[in-house]
């Protein structure tokens, strides 16, 4: 079974739930889905620190 985290209601949902545009997932467990916002923040931080994904151009002065 898969689970999603609803961004509107801030709760874990089964497959039948809010539209996918309002959710993160799927996740393998309810516990993992409950951490969806935390996991997204961790991934974003890793991408921000990864030179392969960080394509911000620094101004040379």
DSSP-assigned letters across all residues of the chain = --EEEETTTTEEE-SSSS-GGGEEEEESSHHHHHTHHHHHHHHHHHHHH-TTT--PPPPP-
| 8 Å CB contact between 24 and 36 | yes
Q: Could you give the C-alpha distances from 60 to 32, 47, 48, in angstroms and in order?
A: 42, 23, 20
Is the pLDDT reported for residue 61 higher than 90? no
Cα–Cα distance, 6 to 13 (Å, whole number): 7
Q: What is the pLDDT of residues 6-59, one digit of tens each?
A: 999 999 999 999 999 999 999 999 999 999 999 999 998 888 887 776 666 554
Q: What is the pLDDT of residue 59?
A: 47
Q: Where are the domains of the chain?
A: 3-49
């Amino acid at each position: 079974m898969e689970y999603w985290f609803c961004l509107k209601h801030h709760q874990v949902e089964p497959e039948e739930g809010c539209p996918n545009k309002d959710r993160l997932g799927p996740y393998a467990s309810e516990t993992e889905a409950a951490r969806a916002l935390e996991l997204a923040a961790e991934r974003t931080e890793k991408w921000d620190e990864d030179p392969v994904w960080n394509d911000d151009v620094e101004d040379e002065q």
